[in-house]
Every structure is written in C-alpha cells, then in structure tokens.
Structure 1
Amino acid sequence: MHPHRHPLHLLFAQLGLAADHASIDAFIRTHAPLPPAVRLEDAPFWRPAQSELLREERDEDADWAEAVDLLDAELRRAP
C-alpha cells in the first residue's frame, strides 16, 4: 500500500495561500533562497498557524510531509 501523496498546490491551499501555478512560483521567487540555518517552519514569512502546520506535518512524517519537503527544497534554491 502506498501512502497518500499531496501535490504542492494542495499544500499551498492547506496553508491558506493562493494555489495556482503562477502564485506558487511568485511565492517561491519572493522567499527563496531560504538560509540553510533556518528550518522551513521557522521562516519569518509564515503566520503562526502555517508554521505549526508545517512543523506538525514534518515531525509526524504525515501525509503532507513529502509536499512540505518539496516546498523546502524549492525555497532553498537560489533564484
């Protein structure tokens, strides 16, 4: 049985952010690159509830963990 995987645009929707391709690209361009010493969920641009969601999903290796890891990787790339 394969775990359920969520695409990145659904993670954005879950975070209460615009989830269309252009908005996701703009978000990543605006906030990348995230410094190596900053954990994704501790980045200053998240609201507290967003940060908590990201932390919980990663810590629990939950259904959303793969999408969270993908977002983290995208935000680590230099523009």
Structure 2
Amino acid sequence: MSKATIQLEALGCPSCMQKIENAVKGLNGIDPSTVKVMFNSSKVKTDFDENIVQIETIEKAIEDLGYPVIKSKVKSA
C-alpha cells in the first residue's frame, strides 16, 4: 500500500469534506478506513494500492467534484 497526501484549495464547508470522502472511498484500490479529509488544512490522506488505482485517478475524482488539487505526495509503504 502507498500513502497519499493531497493538498486542496481551501474547503468552504463541512459538507465538502463528506463529498470528497465519499468519492475517494468509492474508488477501487482505496483502503476506506484510512480516508481522512482535514477541513482546517484542506488535505486528504489515504492509503491506496498503486497496482489498482493511480494517484491521478484519485486527484481526478476530487477535481470532478469541483475541488482543485494543488499538489500530491505519495509515499510507498
């Protein structure tokens, strides 16, 4: 599993967090128990299997909701 930290533009409301969390959890290859959306720092953290899903796919799922991704960091476990 790899760990992703995705920096977003500032989040405007708590319901934004829920939308992002649900979208990321719905992707194949994501460990749903590790998905955390941090409102104050506008970050998404999750563990994912790079053999199943790529960081670009996770970013696209977030951007498709209308939340621009500023940068992502991936650490291989």
Give the TM bin, normalised by the shorter chain: 0.3 to 0.5
More helix, by proportion:
1
More strand, by proportion:
2
TM-score in terms of structure 1 length = 0.34
Q: Which has the larger radius of gyration?
A: 1
Higher relative contact order structure (alpha carbons within 8 Å, sequence separation ≥ 6): 2
